[in-house]
Amino acid sequence: MTTVIFTIGTQGQRDKSFMDLLNEHAIDVVIDIRLRNEGRYYKFASGRHISALVTAGGLAYRHELAFAPTPVMLKVYQEGGEWALYESAYRLLYDEREMSALWLAEYVRYDRPCLLCAETDPSHCHRRLLAELLAEENGVQVVQLGGGKAHEND
């Protein structure tokens, strides 16, 4: 049963260092929560590539669109929208899509799940929002992975 939720971004990652980081923290499933996971900017970010990489390493991979922002939300934010508005919209979407129920039905069975998105810095990323909302409801710890370091959120 899950006691900690990890998160990681794809930007700047390379195969070996990415897998080393996942293995160092004993991750058992990578949950890709990006709206678009086709890796338009570089090969590593492709969902197909990440899926093949992690499954070859013995980990599970899931692309979970229910945890992704809507296309409109993402576009507005990427075109200069305010983070506070994006965060509020995502919190509403969390309730509307019943993300907590989905988490309990599909992902709580994993011991060391890791939410994956694009951003290196989780401070302005929906993976941090999702992890924190799930942590509040389920009493679990959140650990942000990246840059070879783990950062715990209290």
In order of their start, the domains of the chain are 4-153 (3.40.35)
What's the pLDDT score for residue 151? 46
pTM reported for the whole predicted model:
0.90
- Which alpha helices (H) appear in 25-68, and where do they start and end? 47-56
What's the pLDDT score for residue 42? 61
**Other C-beta atoms lying within 10 Å of the C-beta of residue 122:** 23
Q: Cα 128 to chain center, whole Å?
A: 7
What's the pLDDT score for residue 85? 94
Tell me the mean pLDDT per 10 residues along the chain, length 154.
88 84 96 84 77 95 96 92 94 97 94 91 90 93 73 46
